[in-house]
Amino acid sequence: MATEKATFGAGCFWGVEAAFRQVPGVISTSVGYMGGSFKNPTYQDVCTDLTGHAEVVEVTYDPSKASYTDLLKVFWEIHDPTQLNRQGPDVGTQYRTVIFFHMPEQEAAARASKESLERSGAYRRPMATEITPAAEFWRAEEYHQQYLEKRGLASCHIK
């Protein structure tokens, strides 16, 4: 089976991971950090808001069962893409809205999707979502992986 990776930041990674784990065709998810300059960051490092990393979810999926467009739809639905460097009560650049693309086709789809939403008038404020090349993924500590699932919770999103 051929698989692909997609990486999204949409606030606290616990709820983002839980949402993507529900998508048919998603094989696995991992929470971690991407987009900063600090090597091998820990959660404590990222929480300082000095590393440049975003909390992200790396999604491994079967493109014959889930398209990248399907994943983008979930991404837009689970957070507020107009909030700059925050989601709800979580504030800092680590909570920014960001799409890290792994291939040119993902970049094109992400940009087209964002532009379509901007034109739709669905949001009263400008969209703050960054679209940028994927960088090194630093897997978060084990206790963060499937955090909500381990505690019997379905979601922590405010939207």
Q: Which residues are catalytic?
A: 12
Contacts of 16 (CB under 8 A, 6+ apart): 8, 9, 10, 31, 55, 56, 57, 78, 79
Contacts of 27 (CB under 8 A, 6+ apart): 3, 60, 61, 62
Strands 86-87, 54-61: pairing is unpaired
